[in-house]
Amino acid sequence: MIVVAGAMRLLLGLTFVFSGVVKLIDPRGTQYKIEDYASAFGLGGLLPESLPLVLACVLATTEFLIGIYQLFAIRRRLASWVSLCFLLIMTPLTLYLAVTNPISDCGCFGDAIVLTNWQTFAKNVVLLVCAAVVFHYRTALPRFVSRRSQWIVALYSFVFAILLAGYCLWRLPVIDFRPYHVGADIRQAWTDDQQGSGGFVTTFILEKDGQQREFTLEDYPDSTWTFVDSRTIQTGEAKHSGVGELLIQDALTGEDLTEAILYDPGYTFLLVAPYIEKADDGVMDRLLTLYDYSRETDCAFYCLTSSGEQAIALWQEMTGAEYPFCLTDAVVLKTMVRSNPGLMLLHDGKVVGKWPSTALPEPHQLPVKEEQQEVRSAEQEPGPAGQELNASMEDAGESVAKTAVGLLSWYVVPLLIFLLFDAVSMAVGKMRQKHNTNPINN
């Protein structure tokens, strides 16, 4: 049974670590999910504005540390108690969410793995059983680090979690699980979503001389056959990337510009500001510089926001912005870029760059000018700059894997160094103690 309990501890620890890491990578996403919960339960206007973000970071750090404590058997009694209590709270809560369904998914694994509320409840039931077994055998399970080294693992894991969350808040998530990640063909995704739920074929069952046969519209027989029934079958899987919810309307005329923007063969700058009245106004000069650059290179430039006419007018007055404004749903905008404002660069309907307000690019860092002239003048094949961007998009999947390995290395390598140093110091201490107690030396 100890082996089974050990396997359950491993499953419990890995699940908590994964859940914590995806939240640390995207704390804004967890913040938005907490805000959704608050609105669903009628608490939207009661919470301080900064509280959801604080709760998101605390939740992510707590889950990560619970997982690490379980994996390394740190403070086994404490870790077992916390794990069990956490799941005793979350399991009934997810059952309530599954029954009432106020929100489509709980967000327990962020955007990395989207589960329905019933799937989340089933997952929590399994984890609760694991937590109960681990709690029962908590002192019998083996340690992976010594008592002396526990504080090193615990402290380092806490610092790592804080630094990872802080970096992803200051910049952008180091791994983007959303449909608007760099390299995504959002034009294709939007088109697929607009087309609905895949392909369908209708067949007709007809009868003649006591025999029934199935026909399609292409081989429909003559009138000597008698209609019996028809059926429609799905020939392609339903596609729903989430991009289909994108709707971009001109703030002045209300014209739908979505298709025009996504099908533009050139470069398009999208300044994404879910709430323009709350946007960082310390980047005004940089935005105007980028807008001037877009005009020089004949690139389209739009500001997408969900704010109203007064907020847009105030921003224009404060910044002197001359770029056109478009209205888009706030949820979609927050999904596109985890920054207010943030900048997205499209090329031929594909995302080739994303930047937060804290790290907006300089014009010379954008390989747009040469390629845009080629597209606008002769609509030629992509030049050197475009080829580099296309190559980088093709490597997007490899980049995610490399980033994941890099994150693991940043955590594991220093930790191994600390543990090795601690083990050496312990060995040296024991040797000194043995030397001091040797009767020959007395």
* CATH number, residue 349: 3.40.30.10
Nearest Cα residue to 53 out of 23, 14, 88: 23
Same domain, 387 and 409: no
Query: Where do the DSSP E strands lie in 263-347?
Result: 267-273, 300-305, 325-327, 342-347
Question: In the prediction, which pLDDT does 237 show?
Answer: 53
Instruction: Identify the domain containing residue 103 by its residue range.
Output: 2-170
Same domain, 260 and 368: yes
Output the six-digit token pair for 247.
């709707």
Question: In the prediction, which pLDDT does 381 show?
Answer: 45
Comparison of pLDDT for 320 and 367, the residue scoring more: 320
Residue 178 lies in a domain: no
Residue 146: CB partners within 8 Å, gap ≥ 6? 422, 423, 426
CA angle 132, 137, 139 (to 5 degrees): 130
Residue 250 lies in a domain: yes
Residue 442 lies in a domain: no
Residue 188 lies in a domain: no
Arithmetic mean of pLDDT, 295-310: 92
Comparison of pLDDT for 146 and 17, the residue scoring more: 17
CA–CA distance, 302 with 15 (Å, rounded to integer): 41
Main-chain phi, psi angles of 181, to 5 degrees:
-70, 160
Same domain, 127 and 18: yes
pLDDT digits (tens, 9 = 90+) for 33-84: 998 888 888 887 788 888 999 999 999 999 999 999 998 888 888 999 999 9
Q: Is the pLDDT of residue 330 over 50?
A: yes
Residue 83 lies in a domain: yes
Top-confidence range, 98-107, 200-209, 272-281: 272-281
- Give the number of domains in the chain: 4
Same domain, 430 and 333: no
Same domain, 256 and 207: no
Secondary element (H or E) of residue 248: none
Question: In the prediction, which pLDDT does 383 show?
Answer: 45
Arithmetic mean of pLDDT, 253-273: 93
Top-confidence range, 132-146, 159-173, 189-203: 159-173
Local structure of 240: helix, strand or coil: coil
Same domain, 413 and 329: no
Same domain, 152 and 8: yes
Output the six-digit token pair for 236.
């392609």
Arithmetic mean of pLDDT, 386-409: 63
Sign of the four-CA dihedral 114, 119, 122, 126: negative
CA–CA distance, 204 with 143 (Å, rounded to integer): 66
CA–CA distance, 355 with 277 (Å, rounded to integer): 19
Q: Cα 379 vs. chain centroid, distance in angstroms?
A: 35
Question: In the prediction, which pLDDT does 371 show?
Answer: 56
Residue 28 lies in a domain: yes
CA–CA distance, 233 with 52 (Å, rounded to integer): 45
Arithmetic mean of pLDDT, 131-158: 85
Write down which residue in 354, 369, 391 finishes a domain: 391
Same domain, 52 and 79: yes
Nearest Cα residue to 239 out of 187, 197, 291, 298: 197
Same domain, 270 and 365: yes
Residue 185 lies in a domain: no
Q: Residues 396, 353: contact at Cβ < 8 Å?
A: no
Percent pLDDT > 90 in the chain is: 45
Question: Whole-number mean pLDDT of the chain?
Answer: 84
Question: In the prediction, which pLDDT does 30 show?
Answer: 93
Same domain, 40 and 150: yes
Comparison of pLDDT for 381 and 151, the residue scoring more: 151
Write down which residue in 212, 234, 256 finishes a domain: 234
Residue 343 lies in a domain: yes
Same domain, 361 and 421: no
Arithmetic mean of pLDDT, 154-180: 93
Question: In the prediction, which pLDDT does 225 show?
Answer: 80
pLDDT digits (tens, 9 = 90+) for 202-231: 677 778 888 888 887 677 787 788 767 666
Same domain, 281 and 322: yes
Q: Residues 406, 414: contact at Cβ < 8 Å?
A: no
Query: Where do the DSSP E strands lie in 193-241?
Result: 200-208, 211-215, 226-234
Question: In the prediction, which pLDDT does 125 show?
Answer: 95
Question: In the prediction, which pLDDT does 392 show?
Answer: 46
Write down which residue in 210, 234, 258 finishes a domain: 234
Sign of the four-CA dihedral 334, 339, 341, 342: negative
